[in-house]
Structure 1
Amino acid sequence: MVLGWLLLLVMALPPVTTGAKECIFCDLTDSSDCTGIPMTCGDNEDCFMGEGTAPGLSPVINKGCMETTSCGNEEAVTYQGVTYSLISTCCDGELCNRAPTPAGSLKVGATTCLALGVLMLLQ
């Protein structure tokens, strides 16, 4: 019974933060599939995803860490000899700039954990 209460308590607590934030890094690319690699940001940085556009061409993207004060700014970047207008959008949270999670997958995991906790309490 105590184990069930502890499981429910752990699920209800917010994750512990250390000040350092993990984000996904992906160099400038014209591929829409940019899974990237994890990187650690500095204290005054947020995760970002940048999307660059140029007339008549497919967009380019990049991901990583960025100074919070630079979020939302537009800048010119050159990729394969073409100048793109890149706008970076920041997000808050661990790995928030990763590829989207399939719909429902987090909900299923949380529901399963909750059901297991209730079953343990009933024993």
Structure 2
Amino acid sequence: MSRSELLMVLLGCLPLAAGLRCYTCVFPAISPLDCLKFPQECPAGQRCLSSSATGSRGSLHVTMYEKSCAVPSQCDVSGQKYASGLYFNYTNICCDTELCNAAAPPAGRRWGGLALCLLPAVTLLLA
């Protein structure tokens, strides 16, 4: 394999420039498992958000979970909001890598595609 072919293989491994994709819940959920997630491309300058909000009235305790795109001013903040007759204490956490606001990112999947893509180039260099 020539150097130009090797360069083409390496360039083919680079991701195409695109907007950040984040998971978004169809509806805010009362369980992390109830969040019906789907990937969504965020507008430029936005980050991926994971938010939880806990509210209570007497013996009633409710926690809501949300995932979405967010402007930076919504990120890494906590506070209180009023909704559905309850005051909720919320915490927003943001990240800025592809689909990083998943509940539990699968271990090892981020590098697997890159390793398989680079394998022919590494094999050629070692030969």
Q: Percent identity?
A: 29
- C-alpha deviation, 1:61, in angstroms: 0.8
Aligned equivalents of 1:103, 1:35: Cα separation in 2: 21
Whether the 8 Å CA contact 1:5–1:121 is kept in 2: the answer is no
Matches within 5 A, 1:60-71: 60-71=64-75
- C-alpha deviation, 1:99, in angstroms: 3.4
The equivalent residue for 1:54 is 55
* Structure 2 unmatched runs, 5+: none
Aligned equivalents of 1:106, 1:42: Cα separation in 2: 23
Superposed CA RMSD: 2.9
TM-score of the superposition, structure 2-length normalised?
Answer: 0.68
Aligned equivalents of 2:21, 2:12: Cα separation in 1: 22
Secondary structure of the corresponding residue to residue 28 of structure 1 = coil
The one-letter code matched in structure 1 to 2:17 is: T
- C-alpha deviation, 1:35, in angstroms: 4.9
Whether the 8 Å CA contact 2:32–2:103 is kept in 1: the answer is no
Matches within 5 A, 1:72-91: 72-73=76-77, 74-78=79-83, 82-91=86-95
- C-alpha deviation, 1:63, in angstroms: 0.7
Whether the 8 Å CA contact 1:35–1:99 is kept in 2: the answer is no
The one-letter code matched in structure 2 to 1:32 is: P
Q: Are residues 1:36 and 2:37 paired?
A: yes
The one-letter code matched in structure 2 to 1:45 is: Q
Size of the aligned set, in residue pairs, is: 119
Secondary structure of the corresponding residue to residue 32 of structure 2 = coil
Runs of 4+ in structure 1 off by over 4 angstroms are 120-123
Q: Tell me the alpha carbon deviations over residues 7-60 of structure 1, each in whole angstroms, 9 at most, x when there is no partner.
A: 23433x4x3434x43221112111222351122322342221101123674632
Whether the 8 Å CA contact 2:80–2:87 is kept in 1: the answer is no
